[in-house]
Amino acid sequence: MLLLVGYVIILLASLGTYSVHGSLGALWVPLEYLAIVGLGIGYMVASNGPRSLKAVIGAIPSVLKGSSLNKAVYMDLLAMLFEILSKVRKEGLMSIENDVENPEGSPIFSKYPSISHDHHIMEFICDYLRMMVGGNLNAFEIENLMDIEIETHHAEAHFPAHMVQTAAGALPAFGIVVAVMGVVNVMGSVGEPPAVLGKMIGGALVGTFLGILVSYGFIEPIANQLNQKVEEGSKVYQCIKAVLLASMNGYAPQVAVEFGRKVLFSTDRPTFIELEEDLKARKGK
């Protein structure tokens, strides 16, 4: 929603201030708009394969949505990990085998729909709990594997943002291309009266104006929003990693979830007291 608010401010600051001393009608050159949009779309199509283009198109609407990860969700995540690790501590690793192999039917996971409904998060948790149950890998090996998987996830998630960023960087140049084409057209009409030539030159410069405004005012913010969402989305995996590794290194569940709590951004991180009271309240239910 803030993206749309920003767009309104940008339009008011640019077109609004211009309209005080100029005519907005002078900026209405439909062919310039068509050329800029066409060049931008052509750049995206030429730069991506079908799968990549689909990823970019699918990611863009997410900038209009708020983040699904917040303090309440992280409280659920830490409580779920605490409960599963408490069961391991009391009954042994084999006691969670059914939970890991059938997370949809797990009485523990089903208590936390905000987490269990996210396929990627559940797959990450269950994969590493399964390795812990198997007992074939030590904490160092699992940490290394986690780092590789998180890095892969991070790189893949960053791709749409990177492509939008490069498209934003190309638009000012496309604006110059459109302006040059307009100037070439003007050169073929040098015999026209000054008023006509002035209008034609002004129309040609609209291309440069559009390229720069659309790039830095509209496309660049989308890329920045996508980058922020990638960083927010990676934090949940780092939290899970910290908790599971702490458990593998012998820490009690209460301490292990504290490792995970410390990983979180300050805006989403519950305090020590908040988490402790939340765990006590859930245990009492």
The C-alpha atoms of residue 53 and residue 231 are separated, in whole angstroms, by: 21
| pLDDT at residue 197 greater than cutoff 70 | no
What are 75-126's pLDDT values in tens digits?
999 999 999 999 999 888 888 988 888 888 888 899 899 898 988 999 999 9
What are 146-194's pLDDT values in tens digits?
999 999 988 888 888 889 999 999 999 988 888 888 777 777 666 667 7
State the alpha helices, DSSP H only, in the chain: 2-11, 17-21, 30-47, 50-59, 71-91, 97-101, 113-116, 119-134, 139-187, 194-214, 220-248, 253-263, 272-284
* For the chain, domain boundaries: 28-285
Q: What is the pLDDT of residue 123?
A: 92
Tokens representing residue 202 in the block: 């002004």
Q: In the chain, what is the straight-line distance between the N-terminal and C-terminal CA atoms, in Å?
A: 37
The C-alpha atoms of residue 59 and residue 157 are separated, in whole angstroms, by: 9
Read off the pLDDT of each residue in 122-146 and give the average, rounded to a whole number.
87
Between residues 227 and 198, the one the model is more confident about = 227
The C-alpha atoms of residue 80 and residue 120 are separated, in whole angstroms, by: 16
| pLDDT at residue 2 greater than cutoff 70 | yes
